[in-house]
């Protein structure tokens, strides 16, 4: 029986740990895998999803865990653009409008995983839904998404995310112009107590440290284009942090403000203006750093043109 294994580097709930960074496809499926006895912590089967993990714990999931099977992920042509490829991995330019993997609700909707399955078919390599996604992007976020070609590469690449050696740079168009031209936002993020589907800056025991650095690279009268570096990888991190300082990402209905809603109407913004612009990682194929850049989608460029912001023009 094949296994997937991870070393814990921070205190966390077991089900949440497995659901992060694509380790298991969703928190719901992680919960089911745990309850069915497919998960071990330090070689002991744990059946409580809320089990607390500590740094140094070793988590093992058997590959027959109750995640979608290969037959459930039917290859679909999403016209995914490959930005980089070698023998061990590749990077795609994720389009907006697709969740990275199947989740709760809308189970019949095509996802990036379905598109990746087709790419694997074209590449004539085995596809396993459990060992291709190295990290995630939100449904309406575009840009660089790293894909592993095999379980060994999957483990090696995930370790880089866990040890924070991967550099992730985003472009975000926000409402208003931040007072500081560049700054570091250091604020813990946890599940919102008001809405469990959203995240929030909180100080609860389940919150986790989160740091985002931003720099203004362009601006108009009531809009700023920010270059953001993620130092951690929390759910909705950039969106929550920028909303937290009063400058929500344009097109973000979950974390909008009265200001951002006015700006969206004024400039006819119809999509989330958040793009995973650059990704730097070490490939298992050659042990060398690779810096990949994803061009901005047409909708984002059109808004920049309206605003007369010439960055990347």
* pLDDT tens by residue, 194-205: 887 889 998 877
Same domain, 151 and 235: no
Better-scored residue on pLDDT, 150 or 103? 150
Same domain, 51 and 102: no
Enzyme catalytic residues: 138
Q: What confidence category does residue 78 fall into, taking pLDDT thresholds of 50, 70 and 90?
A: very high
Q: Alpha-carbon dihedral of residues 203, 205, 206, 207, nearest 10 degrees?
A: 30
Residue 281 lies in a domain: no
Mean pLDDT of 45-68: 80
- Residues whose CB falls within 8 Å of the CB of residue 9, separated by 6 or more in sequence, listed in order: 55, 162, 163
Q: Is the pLDDT of residue 23 over 70?
A: no
Q: What is the pLDDT of residue 107?
A: 59
Residue 292 lies in a domain: no
Q: Select from 95, 145, 149 the least CA-distant residue to 121.
A: 149
Same domain, 46 and 115: no
Q: Is the pLDDT of residue 70 over 60?
A: no
- Residues whose CB falls within 8 Å of the CB of residue 175, separated by 6 or more in sequence, listed in order: 222, 223, 247, 248, 250, 257, 259, 260, 262, 263, 264
Same domain, 150 and 233: no
- Please answer whether residues 117 and 73 qualify as being in contact, where contact means their C-beta atoms are separated by less than 8 angstroms: yes
Q: Is the pLDDT of residue 66 over 50?
A: no
**DSSP secondary structure of 152-178:** HHHHHHHHHHHTT-SEEEEEEEEES--
Better-scored residue on pLDDT, 115 or 101? 115
Q: Where among 109, 139, 163 does a domain terminate?
A: 163
Residue 283 lies in a domain: no
Same domain, 175 and 271: yes
Same domain, 102 and 195: no
Q: What is the pLDDT of residue 313?
A: 45
Range of the domain at 11: 3-62
Q: Where among 62, 80, 106 does a domain terminate?
A: 62
Q: Alpha-carbon dihedral of residues 231, 232, 235, 239, nearest 10 degrees?
A: -20
Better-scored residue on pLDDT, 235 or 204? 235
CATH number at residue 21: 3.10.290.10
The dihedral through the CA atoms of 145, 3, 32, 163 has a sign that is negative
Q: What is the pLDDT of residue 63?
A: 63
127 beta partners = none
Q: What is the pLDDT of residue 112?
A: 96
Same domain, 56 and 101: no
Q: Is the pLDDT of residue 67 over 90?
A: no
Q: Is the pLDDT of residue 248 over 60?
A: yes
Q: Is the pLDDT of residue 144 over 90?
A: yes
Q: Is the pLDDT of residue 1 over 60?
A: no
Q: What confidence category does residue 134 fall into, taking pLDDT thresholds of 50, 70 and 90?
A: very high
Q: Select from 96, 104, 127, 126 the least CA-distant residue to 114.
A: 127
Chain centre distance of CA 183: 22
Mean pLDDT of 128-135: 89
Residue 269 lies in a domain: yes
Q: How many domains does the chain have?
A: 3
Query: 24-28, 90-94, 203-207: lowest mean pLDDT where?
Result: 24-28
Q: Is the pLDDT of residue 228 over 90?
A: yes
Q: Is the pLDDT of residue 127 over 70?
A: yes
CATH number at residue 156: 3.30.2350.10
Q: What confidence category does residue 22 fall into, taking pLDDT thresholds of 50, 70 and 90?
A: low
Q: Select from 237, 243, 247, 170 the least CA-distant residue to 209.
A: 237
Q: Select from 246, 227, 190 the least CA-distant residue to 309.
A: 227
User: In the predicted model, what is the mean pLDDT of the chain?
Assistant: 90
Q: Is the pLDDT of residue 68 over 90?
A: no
Residue 41 lies in a domain: yes
**pTM for this one?**
0.81
Residue with tokens 């992680």: 30
Residue 289 lies in a domain: no
> How many other CB atoms are there within 10 angstroms of residue 234's CB atom?
20
Residue 15 lies in a domain: yes
Residue 294 lies in a domain: no
Query: 130-139, 171-180, 223-232: lowest mean pLDDT where?
Result: 130-139
Q: Where among 43, 62, 81 does a domain terminate?
A: 62
pLDDT digits (tens, 9 = 90+) for 270-313: 999 999 999 999 999 999 999 999 999 999 999 999 999 987 64
- Please answer whether residues 98 and 78 qualify as being in contact, where contact means their C-beta atoms are separated by less than 8 angstroms: yes
Phi and psi angles of residue 249, each rounded to the nearest 5 degrees, phi first: -65, 135
- Please answer whether residues 32 and 66 qualify as being in contact, where contact means their C-beta atoms are separated by less than 8 angstroms: yes
- Please answer whether residues 283 and 166 qualify as being in contact, where contact means their C-beta atoms are separated by less than 8 angstroms: no
229 beta partners = 169, 213
Same domain, 84 and 136: yes
pLDDT digits (tens, 9 = 90+) for 267-280: 999 999 999 999 99
Mean pLDDT of 131-142: 94
- Please answer whether residues 151 and 4 qualify as being in contact, where contact means their C-beta atoms are separated by less than 8 angstroms: yes
Strands 274-282 and 142-148, by their bridges, are: parallel
Residue with tokens 């984002």: 300
- Please answer whether residues 159 and 213 qualify as being in contact, where contact means their C-beta atoms are separated by less than 8 angstroms: no
């Amino acid at each position: 029986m094949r296994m997937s294994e991870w070393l814990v580097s921070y205190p966390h709930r077991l089900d949440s740990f497995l659901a992060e960074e694509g380790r298991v496809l969703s928190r719901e499926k992680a919960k089911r895998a745990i309850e069915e006895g497919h998960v071990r912590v330090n070689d002991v089967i744990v059946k409580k999803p809320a089990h607390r993990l500590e740094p140094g714990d070793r988590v093992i999931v058997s590959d027959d865990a109750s995640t979608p099977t290969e037959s459930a992920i039917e290859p679909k042509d999403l016209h995914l653009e490959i930005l980089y490829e070698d023998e061990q991995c590749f990077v795609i330019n994720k389009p907006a409008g697709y969740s990275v993997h199947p989740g709760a609700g809308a189970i019949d909707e095509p996802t990036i995983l379905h598109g990746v399955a087709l790419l694997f078919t074209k590449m004539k390599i085995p596809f396993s839904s459990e060992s291709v996604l190295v990290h995630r992007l939100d449904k309406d976020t575009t840009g660089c998404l790293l894909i592993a070609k095999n379980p060994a590469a999957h483990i090696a690449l995930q370790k880089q995310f866990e040890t924070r050696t991967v550099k992730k740079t985003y472009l975000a168009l926000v409402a208003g112009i931040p007072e500081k031209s560049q700054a570091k936002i250091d604020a813990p993020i946890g599940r919102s107590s008001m809405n469990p589907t959203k995240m929030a800056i909180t100080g609860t025991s389940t919150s986790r440290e989160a740091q985002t650095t931003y720099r203004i690279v362009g601006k108009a009268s009531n809009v700023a284009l920010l270059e953001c570096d993620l130092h951690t990888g929390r759910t909705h991190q950039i969106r929550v942090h920028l909303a937290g300082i009063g400058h929500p990402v344009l097109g973000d209905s979950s974390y909008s403000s009265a200001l951002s809603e006015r700006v969206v109407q004024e400039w006819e913004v119809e999509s989330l203006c958040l793009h995973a612009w650059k990704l730097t990682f070490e490939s298992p194929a050659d042990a060398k750093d690779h810096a990949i850049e994803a061009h901005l989608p047409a909708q984002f460029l059109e808004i920049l043109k309206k605003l007369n912001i010439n960055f990347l023009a």
